[in-house]
Amino acid sequence: MNREIKFRAWHRKEKVMLKPDDNYGTTRDLDCVVYYMQGQPVELMQYTGLKDKNGKEIYEGDIVKSHHFLPSEIVFTEGIFLAEDTPLLYDTLSVYPDNKWEVIGNIYENPELIGDNK
């Protein structure tokens, strides 16, 4: 399966999410990578290639929930995207596509959604 390569970025200083068509001049999917390469204070987040049950794109740093698992951060580790706090050690997003994942926020704008462990 080919996956669309897209990024967004959290600007640490300005406390805003940068993505195409934002109010900060980001126009292309790879602009966030350019900001990073320029040394701007951004945290890059890559698109997983998957959408949640509402059709919203799922990125690293998103917080997702489902009827099977507590809210979890999406991380990229050892070549796969996974919901970090699930009890599974493999790609829970694509192994359980019928799990009805829902993006409920992200770790930068909504850290309270996953508690004090971050």
Check pLDDT > 80 for residue 101: yes
DSSP string covering 6-47, please? Answer: -EEEEETTTTEEE-TT-TTS--STTHHHHHHHTT-SEEEEEE
Other C-beta atoms closer than 10 Å to the C-beta of 113 total 18
Check pLDDT > 80 for residue 95: no
Q: Residue 116 domain-assigned?
A: no
Domain containing 21 — which CATH number?
Answer: 2.30.30.290
Mean pLDDT of the chain: 84
Overall average pLDDT of the 63-92 stretch: 76
Q: Residue 113 domain-assigned?
A: no
Q: Kindly indicate the confidence band of residue 4, based on its pLDDT and cuts at 50, 70 and 90.
A: confident
Domain range for 84 is 7-108
Check pLDDT > 60 for residue 28: yes
What is the count of structural domains for the chain?
Answer: 1
